[in-house]
Amino acid sequence: QRLKAERQLNDQLAFKHALLDGIPNPIYVRDLKGRLISCNRSYEQSLGVSFEQMNGRRLLDVEVIPRPLAEQMHADYLALLENHQPVFSDRTIELSGKRMNVWQWTVPFFAADGQLQGLLGGWIDITERN
C-alpha cells in the first residue's frame, strides 16, 4: 500500500515536471518571500542559469537581469502576495544583453486549505508583434 502511494506520488511529480518543461514559455514559482522554488527549462534558458543556481533565491540575490528591473519585479511580487491580485502587464526586459518586449503574468497560488503558498508567473515574448 505504501509503495503504491509512493509510486503514484512519483508519477504525479514526473507529470508536473513534464508539463512545466513542455510549455515553451518561461514559467516560475516563487514562495511567500519571492524566492524561486520551481521553474521550467525555458525559464532557465531565458535567464542563462540553472534551477540549482537560482533555487531558494530572489531576483535581487542573483545578477541575471539589471538591478532596477529586479527591484521592480520583486516589489511587484511582494505587492501581489499582499493583495492576492493577479498581475498582467507589458514590460521591457533585458536578458543576456537582449531587449525584449514581453507580456508578463503573475498570479497567487493557494494550498488546498486556502492558505497562500506563493506565486506563479511567466511571460510571452511579444517583441516581434510590436
Give yes or no for a contact between 64 and 73, defined as CB atoms under 8 angstroms apart: no
CB 64 within 8 A of CB 44: no
pLDDT on residue 97? 80
How far, in Å, CA of 105 to CA of 95, rounded?
Answer: 17
Q: What is the mean pLDDT of residues 40-52?
A: 94
Domain map of the chain by residue range?
2-129
E strand or H helix at 130:
none
Give pTM, 2 decimals: 0.88
**Superfamily classification of domain 2-129:** PAS domain (3.30.450.20)
User: What mean pLDDT do residues 58-71 have?
Assistant: 90
Cβ burial of 32 (10 Å; 0-12, 13-18, 19+) is: middle
